[in-house]
Chains A and B, each alone.
Chain A
């Protein structure tokens, strides 16, 4: 069974930075697109970013474009999300999700349990 384990969340001040990681196992990581999806407390899902299997294609939601960077290291089976200039509205549970194919915006058929990011002074 696919395993995705997120880490790196925590409390950060507005304007600060965090780097989330997602360790993947039990599937061929380099063959699948990956995504980050977030969910603010008590709210709905918000797609954040997606990356193709090779890492050559990336997409971002308008709300994070220019502040967040998605990347992957296929040699380490790890997905990353570098988050800069954080705002209170970025507070959410951040999920790492595996795509159904190689293209960057494929639907997500496996999800981690999430890592909580809290932006507050």
Chain B
């Protein structure tokens, strides 16, 4: 159960779009359409942003979108805003558990 691989940091200017990748294997990301993304601000509990690869929970801005190709899932944040500065984690089913990604710190320049 190795953690999924995410870039340590991604940055962008307000209004820009950024994409965070989440790379796994055919035993997790590539094998199931059950990838989720969470946002975590410092000192706060995580918040579900995307589930089942590309679905958004009610109340989550449509600036957040998810996709998957092969063993890599992606989270795109469009129209980047200051409030989007946070840590982001992907997660995926595996055959017998769930695994999180290594986490990506998003900085709004």
Contacts and interface: CB of A to CB of B under 8 A. Distances in A.
The secondary-structure label for the interface of chain B is strand
Interface size class on chain B is 20 to 34
Contacts of B96: 59
Nearest to A46: B100
Contacts, number: 62
A113 B40 CA distance: 12
Interface in B32-75: 34, 36, 38, 40, 45-48, 51-52, 57
Given A44-B3, A61-B1, A100-B51, A105 B93 contact: yes
A107 B45 contact: no
Contacts of B99: 47
Interface string A58-75: 011111000000000000
The secondary-structure label for the interface of chain A is strand
B89 A45 contact: yes
B9 interface: no
A95 B46 contact: yes
Contact of A109 (B40, B48, B91, B93): B48
A54 B39 CA distance: 29
Given A61-B1, A111-B45, A105 B98 contact: yes
A55 interface: no
Contacts of A45: 38, 40, 46, 89, 91, 100, 103
B66 to A, nearest CB: 12
Interface in A87-116: 95, 97, 100, 105, 107-109, 111-114
Interface of B: 1, 3, 34, 36, 38, 40, 45-48, 51-52, 57, 87, 89, 91, 93, 96-103
Interface of A: 35, 37, 44-47, 50, 59-63, 95, 97, 100, 105, 107-109, 111-114
